[in-house]
Structure 1
Amino acid sequence: MDEISTSSLFITLGILILISAFFSSSETGMMSINPYRLRHLVKKNHSAARRVHKLLDRPDRLIGVILIGNNLVNIMASAIATIIGMRLYGDAGIAIATGVLTLIILLFAEVTPKTLAAMYPEKIAFPASLLLKVLLKLMYPAVWLVNVVSNAMLAVFRINPTKRASAHLSSDELRTVVHEAGTMIPRRHQNMLLSILDLEKVTVEDIMVPRSEIIGIDINDDWKKIVKQLTQGQHTMLLLYRDSIDDAVGFVHARDALRLLSRNQFNKSTLARAARELYFIPEATPLNVQLLKFQRNRERIGLVVDEYGDIQGLVTLEDILEEIVGDFTTTDAPSPSEEVHPQQDGSYVVEGGANIREVNKEMGWHFPTDGPKTLNGLILEYMEEIPNEGISLRLAGYPIEILEVKDNMVKSARVMPSLYSPPVQ
C-alpha cells in the first residue's frame, strides 16, 4: 500500500462508495417495486420485468448477493480510508477517517440512493437487475454458503425462505387500492368496483321488495281486473297467486300472456298453466352468492323466504345489478332522494318506509343497518312501542322528531344531522 499514491487511494475510495450506493439503491429498488405492476409487465413479455421477477422468486439469494457485495465494498472502503487518514493525520487519522467515512457512506451510499430508489423503484431495479444477475452467477458459491447458514438459522424458527408470503389482497385491501387509484379510475367506475366488493356484505333481505309491496295477480280476481293488470302493468314478470301470496302459483311473463292471447287461449286455466315455477331464496343469502345462483340456475326472479319458509319479499336479478351500477331508469321503487326532503333549517323530513341502507349511502349518514331495514322499523325497535306524534329521540347520535304516525307505523320523521354526535362506545 505504501507505493500507492494518496490520490489513487482517494479515487479508489470514491469508486467504492459509488459501488456501495449501487448495491444500496438496487436493494431498495428491488424490494419496493410494485408486485402487481411487475406481474402485468411480465405478462406483456417485458424483458427487464421478467429478469426482476426471476430474481425476486428467491429473495434469499438476491439479498445474499447484494449484502455480500455491499459489505465487501464497505469494508474495503473503511480500510482505504484508514490508510488515507493515517497518512494525513497520523494516529489521529484513524478516528477522523472513521467519522468522515461514516458520514459520507450515510449520505452518498445509503440515505440518498435508497430514497431515490424508493421513489423510482422501476428505474433503479430494471437496469440494476442486469448486473445483479451476472454477480449472482459469479458469486454463487459464496451466496450459496451464506444462504445455507442463514436458512438453517431460519429453520430453527420454522421459516421456509423458499416460500414467499401470499401476495393476495383481502377485500379491505382491494378497497384501499381502488380508493387510492385517484384519477386513474373514473369516480363512477370506482363506485361500481366498491359496490361489487360490498356484495358479500349485503343479503337479499336488504334489497328485496317487501311482501306488502309485491305486485301480483290474484287468479281468483275478476277476469277483467286480471287483464287490466297484465296490459297496464309496468312489470314484465308478475307473481300469480290464489287469494294470498302465501298460496303462490308461479311467475307469469307478459310475453307468455301475449302468446296465449294471440292464440285465443287466454283464460284463467291457461294462464295458471303458463306460470313459471317458483324459485325460493333464503333471506340471509349474500348478494354475491345469489348473483351466481341466478346465473347457474338461469333465473331472474325469486321469492325470499325466512327460516320458517314464510314469504318475506321478492328479489330480481335487476335488483342486484342496481347495487353495482345504480338505479335503472325503469325502476318504480322510490329513490332515497324522493323519500328524504331537505328543509330550510338544515333538517330533513324522511318517510318512515325509507330504506336505511339506501339513505345512509346517499346522505352519508350512519344509522345502524344490522337490524330493521326501514326508518320506521328502527324507531319502533328503539322505542319498543308505537310512539306518538311530536315525540323526540336521539337515535344513533341523530336527533329525530316524530312528525306523523298512522296505521301503527311512523309515516314521517324529522332528522337533524347538523346536531349529530356519534354514540358513546
Structure 2
Amino acid sequence: MENFTFDQAFWFSCASIALLLLCSAFFSGSETALTAASRGKLRARADKGEGGATAALKVTEDTERLIGAVLLGNNLVNILAASLATALFTRIFGESGIAMATLVMTLLVLVFAEVLPKTWAITRPEEAAARVSPVISVIVMVLTPFVMLVRMIVRLILRLFGMKDTDGQMLAVREEIAGAISLGHSEGTVEKEDRDRILGALDLGDRTVEEIMLHRSQIEMIDADKDPGEILTQCLESNHTRLPVFRDDPENIIGVVHAKNLLRAVNKLRDGDALKEGAMSGFDLMEVVNEPYFVPETTTLDDQMRQFLRRHTHFALVVDEYGALQGLITLEDILEEIVGEITDEFDEGEDQAIRAADNGNYIVDGAMTIRDLNRAADWSLPDEEANTIAGLVIHEAQMIPVPGQVFSFHGFRFEIAAREANRITELKIRPLA
C-alpha cells in the first residue's frame, strides 16, 4: 500500500462499484415489488389512468420471463461489482485484498442491494411496482433473447432428469385468492362467514353433484297410478314445490309435477266455490307434468349451475353411468354451498343437523356432509373418501358400527349415538385436543 496513489483509476473504480450496487438494489427491489404486488390493486390503479400500474400489469403477465430478466441483470451487476472490488483491493492491499474485498462486498450487497430495497418494496409493493415497471419493461425486452436461451438450457436439464417444464403463472389466481382469504381469516381480518362464501364459490368447479345431491332413499315421489285425490293431497301436504312422478317402479321416472301447475289444473275443474261433480275422476296427472331433466352424477357444480340458468329450471334428477337414479339436485342446493343453509317457513320444524351437547360434544346427523360440518364447526375433517360424516366413520372403522361404539381418528372422538338398519343416523363428536 506504500506505492498506492489515489489516482483517477481509483475514483473511477469506486464510482463504478457504487453505480453497480445501485443497479443491484434496483433489480432486487423491482423483483420483490413486482412479485408481491396484487394484480387486483394494480388493475384498480390502471383503471384510474395510472400508466405505471398498466406497465406493471403487462410486465407481470409472463412471470417466468420477468424473473429471468431481473435475475440475469442482478447477477450480472453483482458479479461485475465484486470483480471490480477485488481488483481494487488487490491493488491496494496485495493478496490479502481478495479476502477484504469479499467481506466488504458481502456487507455492501447484503445491506444496500438486498435487505434495504426489498424491505422498501415489500412495505408498498403496488406503488413500487408502478414506479419501476417502465424501466423493467425495457430491460426485459432487451434481455429477452438471453432469457430465452437460459430458459431452453434449464428445460433441457430438467428433461434430462425426467422433470416436466411448466408454463404460465407460477401461482394460479384461484389458489392465490383462496390462500389470501384463509390467511386473512387466521389473522382475524376476514370473518368466517365471508371466508366460507368466497371459498365455497371457488370450489364449485372442483365438486360434483354427487357430493351434495339428495340421495334417492330420501326423495319424495308421486305414484302416477294413485287416485287423483290422493295425488292432490300428497302435493298439498308436501314441503316441496316440485315432486318426481314415477310409474310401476320408483326408478321409472316419467315426469316432474310442479304444485302450481297442479293447482291451476284443479282450479279449472271448479264450479263456483266447489269442484264439478266427478271432475277429479277424469283428472289426468300426465297433462300437467313436465319432462324430467337428468344429469350425470359426475357433473361439476359450476357446470350444473350454468345449466340450470341456461335451461331456466331449478330441479334435476341425478343418474349414474348406467342410467340408474341416484338422487336429485336443485339450484338451491348449489347456492347453499356458497351462502350456507337456506331455510323458509316450511323448514322451521326440521331438526338441526348439528347442535352442541355437554362435555364439548356435538350431536351430528349422520347424513350431514363433511363439508357442511367443517363449515359449521370450523373443523378440517377430510372429505376425500366419503361425503357424509357417517360415511367417514364407516370408511375408517371398516365396518358398520353399533350404537355405543367409540372411535378416534383425525384428532376427533366419534361415538355412535343412533342407527337405523345399516344406516348411522346420529353421532356424538368431540375434538380430542
Establish whether TM, by shorter chain, passes 0.5: yes
Greater Rg over alpha carbons, structure: 1
User: Structure 2 CA distance, aligned partners of 1:292 and 1:151?
Assistant: 41
Kindly report which structure 2 residues correspond to 1:146-225, keeping only aligned pairs within 5 A, or say none.
152=149, 155-157=152-154, 165-167=167-169, 169=172, 171-181=174-184, 187-225=192-230
The SS at the match of 1:249 is strand
- Partner SS state of residue 345, structure 1: helix
| 1:48-67 equivalent positions in 2, closer than 5 A | 48-52=52-56, 59=66
1:25 aligns with 2:31: no
- Give 3-state SS (helix, strand or coil) of 1:255's partner: helix
Quote the residue 1:276 is aligned against: 290
Deviates more, 1:231-240 or 1:319-328: 231-240
Contact kept? 2:21, 2:77, Cα under 8 Å: no
Match of 1:375 among 390, 394, 411: 390
Q: Tell me if structure 1 keeps the 8 A contact 2:85–2:101.
A: no
Structure 1 range deviating more: 321-330 or 12-21: 12-21
Q: Is the 8 A contact 2:390 2:425 kept in 1?
A: no
1:366 paired residue number:
381
Counterparts of residues 24-423 of structure 1 (less than 5 Å): 24-32=24-32, 33=34, 34=37, 36-37=39-40, 40=43, 41-42=45-46, 44-52=48-56, 59=66, 86=92, 94=97, 98=101, 101-102=104-105, 105-106=108-109, 108-120=111-123, 121-129=125-133, 152=149, 155-157=152-154, 165-167=167-169, 169=172, 171-181=174-184, 187-242=192-247, 244-264=249-269, 267=280, 269-330=283-344, 338-363=352-377, 364=379, 366=381, 370-371=385-386, 373=388, 375=390, 378-379=393-394, 382=397, 384=399, 387=402, 389-394=403-408, 398-407=412-421, 409-415=423-429, 417-419=430-432
Q: How much does 1:323 deviate?
A: 0.9
In structure 2, what is the Cα distance between the partners aligned to 1:369 and 1:334? 32
SS at match of 1:329: coil
Change (3 A) 1:337 1:362: farther
Whether the aligned pair in 2 keeps the contact of 1:403 and 1:414 (CA below 8 Å) is yes
Taking the aligned partners of 1:129 and 1:154, their CA distance within structure 2 comes to 22
Equivalent residues of 1:18, 1:109 under 8 A apart = no
Q: Distance in 1 between matches of 2:149 and 2:366?
A: 67
- Cα displacement (A) at 1:166: 0.8
Q: Deviations over 1:112-168 (max 9, x none)?
A: 43333442444445444566678x69xx9xx67xx7667556544557xxx994116
Query: Is the CA contact 2:22–2:113 (under 8 Å) kept in the aligned structure 1?
Result: no
In the alignment, the residues of structure 1 paired with residue 23 and residue 410 of structure 2 have an alpha-carbon distance, to the nearest angstrom, of 56
Distance in 2 (CA, whole Å) between partners of 1:22 and 1:335 is 71
- One-letter identity of the residue aligned with 1:109: F
Counterparts in 2 of 1:384 and 1:238: CA distance versus 1, 3 Å? same
User: Aligned to 2:253, what secondary structure does the other structure show?
Assistant: strand
Displacement of 1:173 in angstroms is 4.3
CA contact (8 A) 1:336 1:354 kept: no
The 1:224–1:126 alpha-carbon spacing in structure 2 relative to 1, beyond 3 Å, is: closer
Task: Write the letter of the residue equivalent to 1:328.
Answer: I
What are the Cα deviations for residues 365-392 of structure 1, in whole angstroms up to 9, with x where unaligned?
Answer: 62656246352784499464573x4444
CA contact (8 A) 1:336 1:359 kept: no
Structure 1 range deviating more: 171-180 or 14-23: 14-23
Shift, 1:300, TM fit: 1.4
Secondary structure of the structure 2 residue equivalent to 1:102: helix
2:127, 2:98 → 1: CA distance? 38
Partner-residue secondary structure (3-state), 1:278: coil
Distance of aligned partners of 1:245 and 1:157 in 2 relative to their CA distance in 1, 3 Å threshold: same
Post-superposition Cα deviations, 1:279-332, rounded to whole Å, max 9, x if no partner, equal: 112223332232233233333111122333332322111111111111112286
Distance change >3 Å, CA 27–CA 371, structure 1 → 2: same
Q: Percent identity?
A: 25
TM-score using structure 2 length: 0.72
Q: Is the 8 A contact 2:86 2:102 kept in 1?
A: no
Shift of 1:31: 1.6
Structure 2 contact 204–300 (Cα < 8 Å) conserved: yes
- TM-score, normalised to structure 1, is 0.73
Contact 1:236 1:254 in 2 (8 A): yes
Match of 2:159 in 1: none
In 2 relative to 1, CA 70–280 (structure 1 residues): closer, same or farther, beyond 3 Å? same
**Per-residue displacement from partner, 1:2-60 (whole Å, max 9, x unpaired)?**
xxx95999987776565344312221222222262475244554212234456666646
Q: 1:117 and 1:259, CA in 2 relative to 1: closer, same or farther beyond 3 A? A: same
CA contact (8 A) 2:366 2:425 kept: yes
Q: Which runs of 5+ in 1 are unaligned?
A: 421-425
The amino acid that maps onto 1:298 is H
Q: How many residue pairs were aligned?
A: 401
The CA distance in 2 between the partners of 1:202 and 1:164, in whole Å, is 25
User: Does the Cα contact within 8 Å between 2:418 and 2:424 map onto a contact in 1?
Assistant: yes
**Distance in 2, Cα, partners of 1:127 & 1:368:** 46
Per mean C-alpha deviation after superposition, the further-off stretch among 23-32 and 226-235 is 226-235
Distance in 2 between the 1:322 and 1:331 partners? 17
C-alpha distance in 2 between matches for 1:408 and 1:151:
63
Which residue identity is paired with 2:29? G
Could you tell me which runs of 5 or more consecutive residues in structure 2 were left unpaired when the two chains were aligned.
157-164, 271-278
Over the residues paired in the alignment, what is the CA RMSD in angstroms?
4.5
- Asked whether the equivalents of residues 347 and 414 of structure 1 are also in contact (C-alpha less than 8 Å), the reply is yes
